[in-house]
Amino acid sequence: SQTIHQWPATLVQPVGSPLSLECTVEGTSNPNLYWYRQAAGRGLQLLFYSVGIGQISSEVPQNLSASRPQDRQFILSSKKLLLSDSGFYLCAWGVNTGELFFGEGSRLTVL
């Protein structure tokens, strides 16, 4: 069966520090991969999605970037974090019908 792993689960970082959140999927090949962010009371905001290795679509211009170095690995990064980057980050993988399967999320607090 397919599983999705996301880490770290919790992260507290100072403003200006770098960020790396990692997501890996097992049990499937060539999945569509997604990064979402949840800020308090603002629902799900799509940040990036990828339909293949090295193919990244950015939905929102911001301080973040994404990379897909391997078929089932999706990384969210930042060179210098801002206070506004705080939030709950969710990785997901998708199938052809659009259905998404989510990881457990990473809580980022920028101080």
Partner 1 sequence: AQSVTQPDIHITVSEGASLELRCNYSYGATPYLFWYVQSPGQGLQLLLKYFSGDTLVQGIKGFEAEFKRSQSSFNLRKPSVHWSDAAEYFCAVGPTNSGNTPLVFGKGTRLSVIA
Q: Which residues bind partner 1 (CB under 8 A)?
A: 6, 32, 34, 42-44, 46, 49, 51, 59, 88, 90, 92, 94-105, 107
Residue 85 phi/psi, 5-degree rounding, is -80, -10
CB of 43 to partner 1, least distance (A): 4
Of 34 and 74, which has the nearer Cβ to partner 1?
34
CB of 32 to partner 1, least distance (A): 6
Of 33 and 75, which has the nearer Cβ to partner 1?
33
Nearest to 109 by CA among 82, 91, 90: 82
CB of 100 to partner 1, least distance (A): 6
Of 3 and 63, which has the nearer Cβ to partner 1?
3
In terms of DSSP bridges, do strands 32-38 and 44-52 run parallel, antiparallel, or are they unpaired? Answer: antiparallel
The full DSSP string for 55-70 is: EEEESS-SS-EEEEEE
Of 3 and 15, which has the nearer Cβ to partner 1?
3
Q: Give the contacts of 41 (CB within 8 A, at least 6 positions apart).
A: none
